[in-house]
Amino acid sequence: MTSVALALFLTLLQADTGRPPRPEMDVITYSSRPYAEVVEAVKKAAVEKGFSIVFELDLQQRIKAKGFEAPPTMVIGVCGAGYAAKALANDPRVAANLPCRIAIMDLGEKRQVSTQNTQLLASMYEGEEMATVGKSVDKILRAILEATE
């Protein structure tokens, strides 16, 4: 979407709701591929983009262990060490949002793959390089998500 089209969309959104548009906290895509295949595609794409896999959390298993139901959901922590180091040097408070997380949820007919909007997240911290780091990481995370389509 071009910046002009995006601006028009946001203007129409504001006019329709009467509220100023809010930026999206999450970046979301959907895949028709099998759940396990999407999980593997995320991990493979992350490594190919120079990120490391920090953890894999089977959220469904954790929730079921406490007696509740949840759809199959895997949360994968990924980290680009150079980006993390720059972000921490600019504002140590960003540590609470590291590593980046990518969630894969099986919705039956499709899989939802989502991550945080790092450009928006970076705008909430201080430091001259935060916007650049947020934009760079956002581009990589979106490419990882696209690898699941």
Structural domain contains residue 5: no
Structural domain contains residue 109: yes
Q: Residue 62 sits in which domain range?
A: 23-146
Structural domain contains residue 9: no
Q: What pLDDT shows up at residue 9?
A: 58
Q: What pLDDT shows up at residue 19?
A: 60
Structural domain contains residue 41: yes
Question: Side-chain half-sphere of 98: how many Cα atoms within 13 Å?
Answer: 21
CA distances from 123 to 9, 25, 29 (A): 22, 12, 23
For the chain, how many structural domains are there in total? 1
Beta strand segments in the chain, E: 26-31, 52-58, 73-79, 100-106, 111-116
CA distance 73 to 98: 19
Four-residue CA torsion sign, 147, 31, 43, 119: positive
Please report, for the domain that includes residue 105, its CATH number: 3.30.310.70
Tokens 């935060």 belong to which residue? 130
Q: What pLDDT shows up at residue 148?
A: 94
pLDDT tens, position by position, for the chain (149 residues)? 445 555 555 555 555 556 666 668 899 999 999 999 999 999 999 999 999 999 999 999 999 999 999 999 999 999 999 999 999 999 999 999 999 999 999 999 999 999 999 999 999 999 889 999 999 999 999 999 999 98
Structural domain contains residue 14: no
Q: What pLDDT shows up at residue 149?
A: 87
CA distances from 55 to 20, 76, 77 (A): 37, 6, 5
